[in-house]
């Protein structure tokens, strides 16, 4: 077959090309021809197809995402915002922290182990590319019904992939979530996050500037795995015949990645890099076009110099391959030899594949023949922009009118007790230890809080004990009832979780998981959720530093619940003052902070007891969330609370069960006068937390709450070996522990 060169493409304008098979629309193909003033070569068509995919170009979502930059001003902590591999914030003492959450949903359904493992590898390289040492990972997960046979196929593989890759890298897994719902049956959500630490002066950006600087590809050899993987696979809807497309899923090697990390950090230390980009979605197509687009010139690449695992790969396949553990660096000529020496020391393959030019084009050659000649911005940053139609679905009113507050409630203390045990033992409220015990949460020795705490926390300076906390949260049931409020509740819960540990919330990353953007109802959900999140970040003063959009999460016509997952990063001056969830000291006083209303829409109780989803989610009061956070942070810093736990899924009773079981101490409780015990225990009103206060600190604590106007109600005392609600019921901790811990091993183990 004749090589499809630029010259040949110009001479054969009518040659048929497989643009539709590569996921391009007819008007997109026409636009490419307009940009180039000719038909594209096969290699150019491959590049545009992956870079203009939904996953890489955000063509359906970017018109809505711009609100994050328009509405939310960058605060003093922001060092790098949206547009780079990951955001960077100042956490004091000369340190900067970079963090991000991304999705690897579709690959993880098709090949659970490798899909999840390479999701971890990809997000770690994003953090590394900013100049930071990765220090911890988190993983928000969503699966189908816990008792569905396919969940037993997907979940163990995903968990093993996350644990296997992260553990081999020596990175503690400090947080995340595991949620089960039938809506995720054919579309599990495997989101992965990472935190990295660096000094301010070590920040690196993805740009190729300086004519004559060399382009060095280093890391693993390029293979046939992952061709059209994340970029194309995540840009279409599954059908009933899936899972297929196994070759499109990348294959990871964590030991190669560990070498790549140490090698990269050493070349950073010696200041050998002028620009850097990891190779993730869209592989070399992305790395070369983004580096050139963000730089001040052009780039020339000799594609036949790329080290291969499979010598039969075509130029198009090399450009599209998403093989893992690869990076691309821009290096000044006089530093190339030292760069290559360090790579050889770490047994990392490194090859000069091109150079930065003083032109304006990205030019790629194959054995001397030019196969790509494109304006790099047209590939990387000027893809299609869709203003997709969106409309509030006609079923939304009926869904909201189906009020969960009208569901039958327990009528006796015995029935209330039984429903508590039923909720505590349900898959979503049950202990996830079977899963999290497969992750190394304490490697490196700097983890101070990890699952099942409200947020993970790591020490980043051993002398001063400066630390950072990260929490990820999202409730698809709330977002289905009201996407605007649901996104705000996700942010509020993550914000509250960070504050409950004593850390001050600083900034946000997000992973927005939705169905097909071609469905106006889904696009309405996305538009509302994005608007809600931007408005809430504006109110709380927490800028969005970056994130990810994952669309087409649906099988046939059935979309997942809209699931905006929000990660909040916080800073704490001294990790020794952190606040855990455990009630560890008998005799301490239990206080409920915030107001409890009759809010059961989307609640765990309505799901578990009645298999019901309807009504409205809890109301959002962002100023109350801010006030609650200030109280929790002050109580932690000044030693006024020994334990704190936010109230969310399952309400007060779920938080009490977790705090009691974690600390091995029971609680004696009194329902406040005039309050329905059922609402008291099961309501999921937002803006609330439960704390245990030493008796010696009670007056100081209540004075602080009173002075700031936060309702603080004394509801009991840490005591005994049961949860005893006066006049209602008593449940021994042993019975609660059995109910809480047996479910997941019984279903999955």
**Catalytic residue annotation:** 55, 104
* Contact assessment for residue 731 and residue 722, using Cβ atoms and an 8 Å cutoff: yes
634 belongs to an annotated ligand binding site: no
Q: Is 510 annotated as a binding residue?
A: yes
Q: Is 100 annotated as a binding residue?
A: yes
3-state SS class at 126: helix
Dihedral sign for Cα 544, 580, 583, 419, please.
positive
Please confirm whether the linkage preceding 446 is cis (ω < 30° from 0): no
Ligand-binding annotation for 414, yes or no, is no
Task: Confirm or deny that 85 is annotated as ligand binding.
Answer: no
Distance between CA atoms of residues 163 and 155, nearest Å: 12
Q: Give the Cα separation of 545 and 48 in Å (integer).
A: 27
125 appears as a binding residue in the annotation: yes
Note the maximum CA span of the chain. 88
- Annotation-wise, does 663 bind a ligand? no
- Strands 78-80 and 87-92, sheet pairing: antiparallel
- What is the number of alpha carbons within 13 Å of residue 29 lying toward its C-beta? 17
Question: What is the rounded distance in angstroms from the CA atom of residue 681 to the CA atom of residue 416?
Answer: 10
DSSP H or E stretch at residue 707: helix 698-708
Query: Residue 250, annotated ligand binder?
Result: yes
In 628-678, beta strands by DSSP E? 643-646, 667-669
Distance (Å, whole) CA 119 – CA 249: 10
Decide: helix, strand or coil at residue 104: coil
**DSSP structure string for 555-574:** ETTEEPPPEEEEEEEEEES-
| 105 annotated as belonging to a binding site for a ligand | yes
Please state, as a whole number, how many other Cβ atoms lie within 10 Å of the Cβ of residue 634: 17
- Cα→Cα distances 141→101, 180, 469, 591, 707, Å: 12, 9, 19, 31, 40
What is d(CA 193, CA 469) in angstroms, rounded to the nearest whole number?
13
Work out the end-to-end distance of the chain between its first and last CA atoms, rounded to an integer number of angstroms. 52
Please check if 104 is assigned to a binding site: yes
What strands lie across the sheet with 563-572, from one edge to the other? 447-449, 456-459, 467-473, 563-572, 504-513, 544-550
SS3 710: coil
Contact status, residue 526 vs residue 482, Cβ threshold 8 Å:
no
326 sits in which H/E element = strand 326-331
Question: Is 323 annotated for ligand binding?
Answer: yes
Sort 301 into a burial class: Cβ within 10 Å, 0-12 / 13-18 / 19+: buried
Which helix (H) or strand (E) segment holds residue 264: the answer is helix 254-269
517, 236 Cβ separation under 8 angstroms: no
The pairing of strands 467-473 and 563-572 is antiparallel
Tell me if 58 is assigned to a ligand binding site. Answer: yes
Closest CA to 50 of 21, 15, 27: 21
Angle between helices 483-500 and 622-637 (to 10 degrees): 10
Token pair of 458 as six digits: 């790591």
Tokens (6 digits) for 308 = 């291969």
Compute the distance between CA of residue 140 and CA of residue 604 in angstroms, rounded to an integer. Answer: 18
Burial class of residue 13 in the structure, from the number of CB atoms within 10 Å of its CB (0-12 exposed, 13-18 middle, 19+ buried): exposed
- Residue carrying the six token digits 């803006």: 687
**What's the CA gap between 619 and 602, in Å, rounded?**
12
- 152 appears as a binding residue in the annotation: no
Angle between helices 413-424 and 651-663 (to 10 degrees): 70
Q: Is 378 annotated as a binding residue?
A: no
Could you tell me what percentage of the chain is helix, strand and coil, using 3-state DSSP and rounding each to the nearest 5? 40, 25, 35
What residue numbers does the annotated binding site for ATP cover? 58, 100, 510, 547
What residue numbers does the annotated binding site for substrate cover? 103-106, 125, 250, 322-324, 550
What residue numbers does the annotated binding site cover? 58, 100, 102-106, 125-126, 250, 278, 322-324, 510, 547-548, 550
What residue numbers does the annotated binding site for Mg(2+) cover? 102, 126, 278, 548
């Amino acid at each position: 077959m004749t090589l499809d060169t630029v010259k040949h493409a110009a001479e054969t304008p009518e040659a048929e090309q497989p643009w539709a098979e590569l996921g391009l629309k007819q008007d997109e193909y026409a636009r490419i021809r307009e940009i180039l003033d000719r038909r594209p070569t096969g290699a150019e068509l491959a590049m545009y197809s992956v870079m203009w995919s939904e996953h890489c170009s955000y063509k359906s979502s970017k018109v809505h995402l711009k609100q994050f930059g328009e509405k939310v001003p960058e605060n003093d902590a922001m060092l790098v915002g949206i547009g780079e591999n990951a955001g960077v914030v100042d956490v004091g003492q000369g340190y900067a922290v970079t963090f991000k959450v991304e999705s690897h949903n579709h690959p993880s359904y098709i090949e659970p182990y490798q899909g999840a493992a390479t999701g971890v590898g990809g997000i770690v390289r994003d953090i590394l590319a900013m100049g930071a040492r990765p220090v911890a990972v988190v993983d928000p997960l969503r699966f189908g019904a816990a008792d569905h046979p396919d969940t037993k196929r997907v979940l163990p593989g995903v968990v093993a992939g996350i644990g296997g890759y992260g553990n081999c890298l020596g990175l503690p897994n400090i947080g995340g979530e595991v949620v089960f719902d039938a809506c995720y049956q054919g579309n599990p959500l495997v989101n992965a996050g990472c935190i990295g630490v660096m000094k301010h002066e070590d920040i690196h950006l993805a740009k190729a500037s300086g004519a004559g600087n060399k382009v060095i590809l280093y890391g693993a050899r390029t293979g046939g795995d992952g061709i059209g993987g994340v970029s194309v696979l995540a840009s279409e809807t599954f059908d009933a015949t899936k899972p297929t497309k196994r070759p499109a899923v990348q294959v990871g090697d964590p030991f190669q990645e560990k070498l790549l990390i140490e090698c990269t950090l050493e070349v950073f230390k010696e200041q050998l890099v002028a620009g850097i980009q990891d190779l993730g979605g869209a592989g070399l197509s992305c790395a070369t076009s983004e580096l050139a687009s963000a730089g001040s010139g052009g780039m020339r690449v000799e594609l036949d110099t790329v080290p291969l695992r499979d010598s039969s790969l075509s130029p198009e396949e090399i450009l599209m391959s998403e093989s893992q553990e690869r990076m691309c660096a821009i290096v000044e000529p006089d530093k190339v030899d030292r760069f290559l020496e360090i790579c050889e020391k770490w047994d990392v393959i490194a090859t000069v594949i091109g150079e930065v030019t003083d032109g304006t084009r990205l030019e790629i050659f194959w054995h001397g023949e030019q196969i790509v000649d494109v304006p790099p911005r047209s590939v990387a940053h000027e893809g299609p922009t869709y203003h997709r139609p969106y409309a509030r679905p006609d079923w939304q009113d009926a869904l909201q009118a189906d009020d969960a507050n009208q569901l039958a409630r327990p009528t006796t203390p015995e029935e209330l007790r039984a429903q508590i045990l039923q909720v505590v033992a349900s898959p979503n409220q049950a202990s996830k230890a079977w899963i999290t015990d497969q992750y190394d949460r304490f490697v490196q020795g700097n983890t101070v809080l990890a699952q099942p705490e409200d947020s993970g926390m790591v020490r980043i300076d051993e002398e001063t004990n400066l630390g950072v906390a990260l929490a990820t949260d999202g409730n698809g049931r709330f977002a289905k009832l009201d996407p605007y409020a649901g996104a705000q509740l996700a942010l509020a819960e993550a914000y509250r979780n960070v504050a409950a540990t004593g850390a001050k919330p600083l900034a946000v990353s997000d992973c927005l998981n939705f169905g097909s953007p071609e469905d106006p109802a889904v696009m309405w959900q996305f538009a509302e959720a994005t608007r809600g999140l931007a408005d809430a970040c504006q109110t709380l003063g927490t800028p969005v530093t970056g994130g990810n959009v994952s669309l087409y999460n649906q099988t046939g016509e059935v979309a997942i619940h809209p699931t905006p997952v929000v990660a909040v990063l916080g800073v704490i001056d001294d990790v020794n003052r952190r606040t855990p969830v455990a009630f560890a000291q008998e005799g301490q006083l239990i206080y409920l902070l915030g107001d409890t209303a009759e809010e059961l829409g989307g609640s765990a109780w309505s799901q578990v007891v009645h298999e019901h989803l309807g009504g409205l989610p809890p109301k959002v009061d962002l100023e109350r969330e801010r006030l609650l956070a200030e109280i929790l942070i002050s109580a932690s810093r000044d030693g006024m609370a020994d334990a704190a736990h936010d109230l969310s899924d399952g309400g007060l009773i779920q938080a009490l069960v977790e705090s009691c079981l974690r600390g091995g101490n029971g609680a004696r409780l009194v329902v406040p006068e005039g309050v329905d015990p059922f609402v008291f225990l099961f309501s999921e009103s937002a803006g609330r937390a439960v704390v245990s206060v030493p008796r010696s600190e009670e007056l100081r604590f209540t004075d602080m709450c009173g002075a700031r106007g936060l309702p603080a109600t004394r509801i009991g005392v840490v005591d005994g070996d049961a949860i005893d609600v006066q006049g209602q019921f008593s449940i021994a901790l042993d019975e609660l522990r059995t109910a809480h811990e047996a479910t997941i091993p019984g279903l999955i183990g």
